[in-house]
Amino acid sequence: MNVVHNMSPGPGALPAAVMYKAQQELVSWPGAPGQSVMSVSHREPNGPYQKLAAKVMQQVRDVLDVPSDYHVLFMHGGAHAQYAAVPLNLAGATAMQPNAARPRCTSIDTGFWARRAAAEHAKYCEVSWGGSSRLDEPIDATGAPKERDWRAATCAKFTTLPPSEGWVYREDDSFVHVCANETIHGVEFLSDPSLPSGAPPLVGDFTSSLLSRPVDVSKYGVLYASGGKNLGPAGLTLVLVRDELLGAQEHPLCPSFLSYRELAGSKPQPNLYLTPPTFCVYMTGLMLEWVTLHGGLEAAEIRAKARSELLYEVIDSSNGFYVNHVEEAARSRISIPFRIDGSSSRSPLDSEKLERAFVAESEAAGFRSLAGHPLAGGMRASLYHGVPDASVAALANFMRRFCNKYQ
């Protein structure tokens, strides 16, 4: 079999050991010998699935050091569903009351995914911007959203991260939303933002960076991450909710499958209100087991830093052939976008043709999914847990060879 280096941005690569274990247990799962985990009832009291779910919830608590006053929820719909679920759970209590003021929230404008989330929030709330990753669009005193459409968040100008000390928000905001890692632009919060006591609840979208570093969950009222990255296959969304936020501001018309209160309150244990994504819960358990066996989140952070530095070193030492516009302190360790500057090349090919050649030649060399997001162009390497260290080293070597060939 030819070696394949899977750099897919999502669904992303899973560790081979996790895949092989799932393969071995697919038909006859040890939790219910003779049955697959995909075909056992979640309703059987203290049955195989309920025991599995309880175990995985505890794994989440142990690996992420989740405080005792938080619920661990397994939800459907990916991060996009959470873009709606967050305002429906945190900002909707007065929505149906006559003459009630429209709820308000603040979003931190770090790129495409922050803007798409804000576009969904705007269906339920008055949204303001509290900080920006774009140096050419500073936030004014009112935090007014102006024309910041998520469809316009495709350029290379998201190059920094606004420190939380300077964020602009209102005391009556229902929440402040932040995307921890922007996969298209390659900016990442490498430490947790901090809001003062009495500030609105901080909501964090950790879809693409959860399990890559320690996280102080206590700083967030809600923290969510969908599958398809480090958590396991697409189909499960992990949501951590501070207990005091369960139901207190829920919209009267919040769909029950998006209700944090409904999922947290199901009996005999949480996450049984509707049929859960049973196989994805099982796979998340395997991923958490893998992270623990490899030293936990402290070791994961060291690994992520070392792997990303391999690629950034190639980019920065290429004499301008490869370009990454993000400031060093904001560079993502997970999502590494880069372009080729044809003006620094002796090749007759322009930048766009060189980039097409890079993608084609990398495919021939065994690399997959290195083309950048369709809205951004260029190239992008996604370094999820399932990408072996050897694949990262191989990509660094390929990038050097390609540069030497065309520069």
Which residue in 129, 173, 205, 290 is the catalytic one?
Answer: 205
Contact between 95 and 103 under an 8 Å Cβ cutoff? The reply is yes
Q: What is the spatial distance between Cα 400 and Cα 154, in angstroms, rounded to a whole number?
A: 27
Catalytic: 113?
A: yes
Which residue in 29, 192, 229, 290 is the catalytic one?
Answer: 229
Q: How far is CA 217 from CA 134, 160, 194, in A?
A: 27, 23, 11
**Checking DSSP bridges between strand 126-132 and strand 70-75, what pairing results, if any?**
unpaired
The residues, any chain, with a CB within 8 Å of residue 139's CB and separated by 6 or more, are 109, 129, 130, 131, 132, 162, 168
Q: What is the spatial distance between Cα 376 and Cα 352, in angstroms, rounded to a whole number?
A: 12
Contact between 189 and 181 under an 8 Å Cβ cutoff? The reply is yes
Residue 379's region, left for phi above 0, alpha for psi from -120 to 50, else beta, is beta
Contact between 383 and 370 under an 8 Å Cβ cutoff? The reply is no
Catalytic: 205?
A: yes
Q: How far is CA 55 from CA 59, 107, 216, 241, 273, in A?
A: 6, 34, 22, 18, 18
Cα three-residue angle 199-203-204, rounded to 5 degrees: 135
Amino acid, single-letter form, for residue 334: I
Radius of gyration over every alpha carbon of the chain, rounded to an integer in angstroms: 22
Is 204 in a helix, a strand, or coil?
Answer: strand
Contact between 315 and 355 under an 8 Å Cβ cutoff? The reply is no
Catalytic: 350?
A: no
Which residue in 113, 129, 167, 290 is the catalytic one?
Answer: 113
Residue 146's region, left for phi above 0, alpha for psi from -120 to 50, else beta, is left
Q: Which of 382, 112, 65 is CA-nearest to residue 223?
A: 65
Q: Which residues are catalytic?
A: 113, 205, 229
